[in-house]
Structure 1
Amino acid sequence: MRRIQLLLVDDESDFLIAYARRLARRNVEVSTAPRARDAIEAIKAAHFDVVVMDVMMPGMSGIEALKTIKKIAPGLPVILLTGHANSEAALQGMAYGAFDYMLKPVGTDELYFKIQEAVRAGVAGVA
């Protein structure tokens, strides 16, 4: 089975390091970006099956980045993560085309299953 190509975007380096390691053990090829602008550049430069991105980041928010990502790669599934039970941000993200959103802290298994679901949906959407 082909490894899932994941772009993990979060301004918290501890989160990036921990989840990149955990997901790598589950046959996921993880690229990381500490800022939304870095994520957008990465998406322009390489192929990803799915993006997992924090909503609250300095500079450009995850919601703003989502809008740009959907212009660059409309079929790319984006899962938003939020540390705040902010239903407005979640609804806004869904309105702009996010695949889903999850509340932090998120369990590795829970996140992995959501990533698999997003990849399956993305592949189905492309076919």
Structure 2
Amino acid sequence: MTTESMTVLLVDDEPDFLSVVARRLERREMKVHSVGSGEEALALLETHPVDAVVLDVKMPGMDGIETLKRIKAAHPEVEVIMLTGHADLEVAISGMALGAFDYLLKPADIDELMFKLRDASRTRPRV
């Protein structure tokens, strides 16, 4: 699978960040869904299959770690890349023990995000 054929779900409570990253990924021919909370992410995953989730660690309500646990329980094949600030780096790393594919520090460099999404797409089982 190439990144151009990937469907990605962005989960972050910062609308400006979501908008910028979504536009940049769409320019690279990716299909992008964006939601502002863990609850919205779980609801969307029930009706829209995705290849990867880019998930913010720190969100009000259901945080990224709880969202990760629930995503992996319901959709173990979906790769999750955690987004974190420096203060939450340990949390993101512990998320990898819970099944996250990788993590990125905010603000995420778009080329680095593309590289990680490309890697994540290689681990997905072929259907």
> Quick one: which of 9, 27, 30 aligns to 1:28?
30
TM-score w.r.t. the length of structure 1 is: 0.92
SS of residue paired to 1:18? helix
Shift of 1:91: 2.5
What do residues 67-119 of structure 1 show as CA deviations (whole Å, max 9, x unaligned)? 00011101110000002343320222011100001100111111111111111
Task: Give the superposed CA RMSD.
Answer: 1.5
Aligned pairs for 1:1-127 (under 5 A) are 3-123=5-125
- Tell me how many residue pairs correspond in the alignment: 125
TM-score normalised per structure 2: 0.92
The answer (yes or no) to whether the contact 2:57–2:88 under 8 Å persists in 1 is: no
Structure 1, unaligned runs of 5 or more: none
Query: What is the rounded CA distance, in whole Å, between the counterparts of 1:113 and 1:77 in structure 2?
Result: 14
Partners of 1:117 and 1:71 lie apart in 2 by 22
Instruction: Answer whether contact 1:85 1:103 (CA < 8 A) is retained.
Output: no
Superposed displacement of residue 18, structure 1: 0.3
How far, CA to CA, are the matches of 2:105 and 2:124 in structure 1? 22
Ranges in structure 2 where 5+ consecutive residues have no aligned partner? none
Question: Which amino acid letter does the alignment assign opposite residue 29 of structure 1?
Answer: K
Q: Deviations over 1:27-84 (max 9, x none)?
A: 1100001001000111111110000010000000010000000111011100000023
Distance 1:87 1:106 in 2: 13
Contact 1:7/1:30 (<8 A) preserved: yes
